[in-house]
Chains A and B, each alone.
Chain A
Amino acid sequence: MTKKYSKLEAINLDAYYGDFHALKGINIAMEEKAVTAFIGPSGCGKSTFLRTFNRMNDYIDGFRIEGQILLDGRDIYEKDIRVDELRKEVGMVFQKPNPFPKSIYENVVYGLKIQGIKDKKILQEACETSLQQAAIWDEVKDKLDKSALALSGGQQQRLCIARALAIQPSVILMDEPASALDPISSAKIEELIYDLKKDYTIVIVTHNMQQAGRVSDHTAFFYMGELVEYAKTKTMFTSPKDTRTQNYITGRFG
């Protein structure tokens, strides 16, 4: 579909939870520094697929995959891949904001401290840069030592994005990052995604069709574990090729 550099790729990917065949023969190449949206009904496999990119499914009993997931051309399921290193490269933001019960500052620098960075100047700089990138610096700069739990839901989610950015990943996975937020907070997250794609490759799972249309460059529609259609977002939302895609995005599914 695109001649641009493919940051993430799935090749003949099948995924299983025990006997359940959750993903079936997925082939997709996702462009660097662009936003790709995964859409589809609940249980279609989009979140499972998203989580294969930073191996979050590894913790689930009975989960296994066949096929390949390539990050910058390298299979992230190879035996010598260090999962902690992979997750530095591939950050993740979840549906519900999940700040640690610590100060705002400690939340942002948490990942860096785990990596062994102790230099206060480096940590402070990283904290400020990340909070600025996450468009929340102006709101929290005077209360960095206050508890992150005192922030609003929308602020907490942007803080979680700042925390993900602090470890300088190249890919950010977002699993319904705005679904628990009010329209204003949701709009801020969308603006943020739009700004971040200059520097990051973003993959977002969303149930909000208008949001997928607004924020993403490419959209992939999943249904019953299959990748039904993958195209430029403009094409998907104006003239989808597959009837199932059309029925889903126009709300006529089932």
Chain B
Amino acid sequence: MPHIDVELERLREKLLEMWDLVDYQLTSGRDAMMNADHELSQRIIKLERKVNSFDIKIDRMCENFFALFTPVAVDLRAVLAILKINTNLERIGDTAEGMARFVCKLDRPFDPELVELTKVLVMYDEALAMFRECRTAFVKDDPKHAKQIIKMDKALNKIYRKSDVVIAKYLQANPDRIPEGLALLSIIKKLERVGDQVTNMAEEIIFYREAKVVKHRRKKKKKE
């Protein structure tokens, strides 16, 4: 294998290690949320430091790659994509940490009725599925798969858009559960951000493989 490919492979492996760590944060976050598990939430919060060190390490590896290999064409796009996916993974890690901090403030699990009404679990599962599918698309260098992932974000947005009305209604009927309702609203907002961040990552896979810039396209269409 040419030296440049060996170095690129090392970069990809490092990114996938980080991906798995953030996956653990997100997956555990779901359990912590459902069970108001403070101990698990603390573990998720602590992992953020490890995610940050991955972020710095990958940044440095990319910097070295640029300096030593002066990549062009597909190699250049690969490193640019890795750099941006790294940033998005770090932010998803931050988001998971943020959700865990909300869970730490809960003194009991969310009311099952509220969970059902808001569809927060459906949203969580969809966000997790997007996150994992995106990893597969990256491993397989598959831009078609990445395009499918971008479409999945619609489901998250739909739930998010309805969430404030649903929660407001619930709180009117259950005024003693205001902190719980507000915490869940914040978690839903954070899950919506996860969808956006995974979309960004999928767009980078398309850029890397097809040399096409697809980000901001939907906004452009709307303006037209």
Contacts and interface: CB of A to CB of B under 8 A. Distances in A.
B69 to A, nearest CB: 9
B75 interface: yes
Contact of A239 (B2, B4, B73): B73
Interface residues of B, number: 12
A238 B70 contact: no
A246 to B, nearest CB: 5
B72 interface: yes
A213 B75 CA distance: 15
A251 B36 CA distance: 54
Interface string A202-215: 00000001100100
Main secondary structure of the interface of B (DSSP, over half): helix
Contacts of A213: 72
Interface size range on A against B: 10 to 19
A237 interface: yes
Given A238-B211, A239-B211, A251 B4 contact: yes
Interface string B186-224: 000000000000000000000000010000000000000
A250 B73 contact: yes
B77 A238 contact: yes
B71 A250 contact: yes
B72 A238 contact: yes
Contacts of B73: 237-240, 245-246, 249-250
Interface in A93-145: none
A237 B73 CA distance: 5
Interface in A221-254: 237-240, 245-246, 249-252
B168 interface: no
Interface in B53-95: 70-77
A209 B75 CA distance: 14
A252 B211 contact: no
